Amino acid sequence: MSTNTLAAAPAPRLSWREGVLRYNFLAIFALVVLIAARLSDNFLTWHNIANLFQQAAIVGIVAVGMTFVILTANIDLSVGSLVAFGGMLVATLLTQGLPIALAVALTLASGALIGAGIGALSIYARVPSFIITLAALVSFRGLTYLISDGTPLGGLPQTFGLFGSLMLNLVPGLDLPFPAMGLVFIAIACAAAWVLRRTVFGEYLRACGGNAEAARLSGVPIRPVVTAVFALSGLLAALGGVLLTSRLNIGQPTAAQGLELDAIAAVVLGGTSLFGGRGGVLGTAVAVMLLQVLRNIFNLLGLGSFYQMTMTGVIIVAAILLNRLLDHHSGRS
């Protein structure tokens, strides 16, 4: 099979049963929104919707990168630590007097290089990505504490903090402000969805995750593809760190603890198989919003973070079981 055949192959049609299984999260999302609307009259107001996107933006951006990684049948546990590392790195560079654009560019480049290094170490040394990224999770969290001496870093330029709280009026003449961070999340999700559906690189990702050996025999450059995917994940994690620091206007070394759990939960809940080869970014984006709405409901009910953590774990298990069921019906297990 040539690479052109890979790019041109039409997506197989889904049976109604597979369609229900794969897109069940849309029905769940609608149900959860209805419940939230019944619990609070303010839930469906524009202000609350904009706030949901503001709260979900960082997790959503990181989850997009995680989707690419999981599509290749790998996983990246380091993203939470890289968010914190990126946030502290950009804060440190800014306090050293670097221009904002240069500090942000260096931070994003560092995230991409770190991600590429993790991916290359995993694929070339044939070490499971779970092990490599688990080590990176611990190492970069420790490095973040070393950079900051374990304390928040303030004194950032005031202009840097403007973007994190920036609200844009989407419709001239109407008072409908929407967070700029939310727009960044939407733009990245749409661009990533286009890459997956319309480019050869997207077909390569699915091929690597679906059957790596068949993909290799077909001429797919598996090692560079996996390395590029981890580089993208590192880049988006660093971007999340920059946006978080801009929003807080302070470098926080303890930030984003457990964020990798939220990202993985969103990916698998959105229909991407943990075993690779199947899924998409738009499902991930909807799942990110679903998790945010659930948190909103927990807050309305006065339930603490312990309940939220427990529920996130339950959601991951349920999503994995559903993925296995879909794999069974599609003949992949």
- Measured between its terminal Cα atoms, the distance across the chain in Å is 23
pLDDT tens-digit readout, 33-60: 888 888 888 888 888 899 999 999 999 9
Phi (first) and psi of residue 331, to 5 degrees: 80, 20
Contact (CB, 8 A) for 248 and 156: no
pLDDT at residue 9, as a whole number: 45
- CA 232 – CA 209 distance, rounded (Å): 17
Contacts of 263 (CB under 8 A, 6+ apart): 59, 62, 63, 66, 79, 80
**Fold type of domain 3-327:** ABC transporter involved in vitamin B12 uptake, BtuC (1.10.3470)
- CA 198 – CA 195 distance, rounded (Å): 5
Instruction: Return per-residue pLDDT of the chain as tens, 333 residues.
Output: 444 444 444 445 555 555 555 566 777 788 888 888 888 888 888 888 999 999 999 999 999 999 999 999 999 999 999 999 999 999 999 999 999 999 999 999 999 999 999 999 999 999 999 999 999 999 999 999 998 888 999 889 989 989 988 999 888 878 889 999 999 999 999 999 999 999 999 999 888 888 888 888 888 899 999 999 999 999 999 999 999 999 999 999 999 998 998 899 899 888 888 888 888 899 899 999 988 888 888 877 777 777 777 876 777 677 667 766 766 665 555
Q: How many CB atoms lie within 10 A of CB 319?
A: 24
Which contacts (CB < 8 Å, 24+ apart) does range 138-147 have? 138/81, 139/81, 140/78, 140/81, 140/82, 140/84, 140/85, 140/114, 141/80, 141/81, 141/84, 141/85, 143/85, 144/81, 144/84, 144/85, 144/88, 144/253, 145/253, 147/85, 147/88, 147/89, 147/92, 147/253
The dihedral sign for the CA sequence 230, 234, 239, 241: positive
pLDDT at residue 275, as a whole number: 83
pLDDT at residue 152, as a whole number: 92
Considering the entire predicted model, what is its pTM? 0.88
Tokens found for residue 163:
């973007």
Contact (CB, 8 A) for 251 and 92: yes
CA angle 78, 84, 90 (to 5 degrees): 125
pLDDT at residue 15, as a whole number: 57
- Closest CA relative to residue 318, chosen from 269, 278, 283: 269
- CA 236 – CA 112 distance, rounded (Å): 8
